[in-house]
Amino acid sequence: MTTKKEAKVKLHVKKGDQVKVLSGNDKGKTGKVLKVIPADNRALVEGVNLVTKHFKPSAQNTSGRIDKIEAPIHVSNLMVVVGGTPTRIGRKVNADGKLQRVAKRTGDFIK
């Protein structure tokens, strides 16, 4: 019997981050992270990895429709953009004694 991963994993991307896609069909595109799925190491990015979704007719929508929606993309294919440039992410203890994300390129703390 397989179970879903329950471990808490710290990822380098968070909801609201601006990210750049490093590989795949959408390589080079940038977008905002809408949702992070740590159990699958995936993130939903605005305007990236669009797939076609077919909706069947229903009582409210009698004709049905076809929409383009975002599908999750693996976080290893994403790099956080800080100050307009993509950068790697590290972790450092800030003045308050809390562990906080830091941009490797500039050394600045990320909110």
Question: How high is the pLDDT of residue 81?
Answer: 97
Q: Is the pLDDT of residue 39 over 80?
A: yes
Question: How high is the pLDDT of residue 28?
Answer: 97
The percent of residues above 90 in pLDDT, for the chain, comes to: 88
Backbone angles phi, psi at 75, to 5 degrees: -70, -20
Please count the other Cβ atoms lying within 10 Å of the Cβ belonging to residue 68.
9
Please count the other Cβ atoms lying within 10 Å of the Cβ belonging to residue 86.
17
Across the chain, what does the average pLDDT equal? 93
Question: How high is the pLDDT of residue 1?
Answer: 52
pLDDT in tens, 61-98: 899 999 999 999 999 999 999 999 999 999 999 999 99
Top CATH class of 18-86 equals mainly beta
Distance of CA 4 to the CA centre of its chain: 20
Is residue 53 within 8 Å of 66, Cβ to Cβ? yes
Q: Is 22 helix (H, G, I), strand (E, B) or coil?
A: coil
pLDDT interval class at 10 (50, 70, 90): confident
